[in-house]
Each structure stands twice: as C-alpha cells, then as structure tokens.
Amino acid sequence: MPESVQPVRFEAVRFPFTFMGLLSLALSAWIVGYVLLHPSRDGLTVGLEMLPALTLFVFGGWLLYRRAVHGRAA
C-alpha cells in the first residue's frame, strides 16, 4: 500500500437515526391509512397488518424521543 493512502476509519460515521425514526413513522402512517381505506378485511388480517405498524410507530417514536431529549449526542 502506498504511503499516501490512509486507512479508512469509521470513527466519524453517524448512522441516520433521525431519518430512520421519521421513515418508521411515515411507514406506520401509510400502513394505517391503507387499512382504513380498505376495510373489507377480517380481524386476523387487520391484526397482522397493524402489528408491524405498531412496531414501526414505537420504534420511530423512541428514536425521535431520544433525539429530542439527548440532542445530537443520542
């Protein structure tokens, strides 16, 4: 390896957790909107569709809550 090439360091890489939180909330809202606009489903199907929506909502809310409370350090 030539002397002028520095090794790649991942110390400054920050994952886009705020974007992930917003995307999770948006996907959750999209799933709920889809279920509300297509109400001809049985209870099991609605439950199976709402479970990921609830999971996405909780995950996105938790990420955005951490960002709001801890700032950029979260």
Digit-coded pLDDT (tens) for 47-60: 999 999 999 999 99
Q: CA 12 from chain center: how many Å?
A: 22
* Per-residue pLDDT, 39: 81
Q: CA 28 from chain center: how many Å?
A: 9
CB atoms near residue 53 (< 10 Å): 19
What residue type is assigned to position 41 of the chain?
Answer: R
Query: Which residue ranges of the chain lie beneath pLDDT 70?
Result: 1-4, 8-14, 74
* Per-residue pLDDT, 40: 74
CA distances to 22, 31, 36, 56 from 64, in Å: 8, 19, 25, 12
**Residue percentage of the chain with pLDDT more than 70:** 84
